[in-house]
Amino acid sequence: MLTSRAVWALGTMSGTSLDGVDAAMILTDGERILEFGDTAYRPYGESERATLRAALGLWPGDPGVEAAAEVVETAHAELLSRFSGAEIIGFHGQTLAHDPANRRTHQAGSGPILAEVLGVPVVWDFRSADVALGGQGAPLVPYYHFALARHIGATLPVAFLNLGGVGNLTWVDPRQSGPEQPGAVMAFDTGPANAPVNDLMLLRLGKTQDEGGALAATGTPDEVILDAFLRHPYFHRMPPKSLDRNDFASLFQAVGALNDADAAATLTAAAARAVSRGTEHFPTPVSRVLVTGGGRHNATLMEMLDRLMAAEVVPVEAAGLDGDMLEAQAFAFLAVRVARGLPTSGPSTTGVAGLVGGGQISRPGG
């Protein structure tokens, strides 16, 4: 266990959009953010991405999982070896499958292997303990969002919106003494975000994304498809709640007969409307929604959100934060919390019955 002193921690994130690995260092005691450090990004190559995509939905022992884990471990080892000075590493791994209803979740990649390769203690497997105790196992970033709200000097409730492969929202009241306090945070997945559009672009045009939302901007959303999408039972469930990347496969199938532009516009509008629907669950309104993740670069998506939301919608850069690295920073922060024995999730973030400190710690030499 670490003491309460601040340490330089290195965190990683490989998200459901399958674009690559983010890594970032922060100086933290697991409660406060004292300083932001170096960052780096390592994209997955085309063949690596294909290997990971082929393993989506698979569980340990299934054919293809070992190859996916090797891709994850190799990419992380290459990226993390560029850093120096980290006392602890938070390694999220690559989510291949997530099924909290049956108390199981699967993130590919071995913490012990990385600890041996890098010679630094690695905290990993952040989600399993929460899921095993009946929680959703996601989202895990909200406790970091609370620290960020304090760091930027927020004095009233704010929201953080992450637009990755799946979207998620965190409502934060920074007036509370800590993220584990009742009424401090509320978090949940909103619905599909970048993943369906990315899949559409890859399938139809051989591109990894709709750059800037340019294609969607030329199309017209299909309101019939969107109405059916918003009738999905997920939107009627109270948070906390979480999603697997493929839980809305029916949406992707529904746009199959549309032309490229209209399909992209429909999928983009679905992401925006899912977020807007999610804000109905906030305990109190927020004046500002700070957007992180790759989706904040999609001008069409951001314009749709701005039209739908009562609050100001801005990239987290407007608050002096790094939206590309926020999730990687979060797992550095959570690694320190795990090492200090502090909770990483609770009833208001994952629906678990009590406060949970997830994560295993692997040290070099076992």
Would residue 234 count as lying in a domain? Answer: yes
- Two structure tokens written together for 110: 């071995």
Q: Which domain CATH number covers 229?
A: 3.30.420.40
Alpha-carbon separation of residue 94 from 19, 38, 44, 221 (angstroms): 11, 22, 12, 32
**179 and 315 both lie in a single domain:** yes
**207 and 309 both lie in a single domain:** yes
Alpha-carbon separation of residue 346 from 142, 152, 187, 287, 355 (angstroms): 10, 23, 10, 25, 4
Residue carrying structure tokens 């994850």? 72
**202 and 71 both lie in a single domain:** no
**55 and 114 both lie in a single domain:** yes
Domain count, the chain: 2
Q: How many CB atoms lie within 10 A of CB 325?
A: 23
Would residue 337 count as lying in a domain? Answer: no
Would residue 345 count as lying in a domain? Answer: no
| Residue 4 confidence class, pLDDT cut points 50, 70, 90 | confident
**127 and 168 both lie in a single domain:** no
What contacts 301, CB < 8 A, 6 or more positions away?
A: 163, 213, 216, 268, 271, 272, 295
Q: Please tell me the distance from the alpha carbon of residue 151 to that of residue 145, in angstroms, as a whole number.
A: 9
Write out pLDDT tens, residues 220-233. 999 999 999 999 99
pLDDT at 290: 98
**269 and 214 both lie in a single domain:** yes
Sort strands 166-172 and 185-192 into parallel, antiparallel or unpaired.
antiparallel
Write out pLDDT tens, residues 9-46. 999 999 877 889 999 999 999 999 999 999 999 999 99
pLDDT at 145: 98
**305 and 162 both lie in a single domain:** yes
Residue type, 328: A
Would residue 330 count as lying in a domain? Answer: no
**178 and 261 both lie in a single domain:** yes
Q: What are the E-state strand segments in the chain? A: 7-13, 20-28, 33-43, 88-90, 94-99, 104-108, 122-124, 158-163, 166-172, 185-192, 288-292, 312-315, 360-362
Q: Please tell me the distance from the alpha carbon of residue 165 to that of residue 53, in angstroms, as a whole number.
A: 13
Cα 36 to chain centroid, rounded? 19
The DSSP line for 140-186 is --HHHHHHHHHHTT--S-EEEEEESSEEEEEEE-TTSSSTTSTTSEE
pTM comes to: 0.92
**103 and 220 both lie in a single domain:** no
**47 and 77 both lie in a single domain:** yes
**157 and 268 both lie in a single domain:** yes
Write out pLDDT tens, residues 135-182. 999 889 999 999 999 999 999 999 999 998 899 999 999 999 999 999
Would residue 132 count as lying in a domain? Answer: yes
Nearest Cα residue to 179 out of 154, 134, 145: 145
**27 and 109 both lie in a single domain:** yes
Angle at 100 between CA 96 and CA 105, to 5 degrees: 30
Would residue 60 count as lying in a domain? Answer: yes
Write out pLDDT tens, residues 59-91. 999 999 999 999 999 999 999 999 999 999 999
Question: Is 349 in contact with 189 (CB distance < 8 Å)?
Answer: no
Would residue 324 count as lying in a domain? Answer: no
Q: Please tell me the distance from the alpha carbon of residue 275 to that of residue 193, in angstroms, as a whole number.
A: 9
Sort strands 185-192 and 360-362 into parallel, antiparallel or unpaired.
unpaired
Would residue 148 count as lying in a domain? Answer: no
- Average pLDDT for residues 242-256, to the nearest whole number? 88
Residue 1, pLDDT > 60, answer no
| Residue 202 confidence class, pLDDT cut points 50, 70, 90 | very high
Structural domain boundaries, residue 60? 7-136+356-362
- In DSSP terms, 23 is beta-bridged to 12, 40
Residue type, 71: V
Provide the 8-state DSSP code for 45: P
- Helix (H/G/I), strand (E/B), else coil: 14: strand
pLDDT at 243: 83
Residue type, 198: N
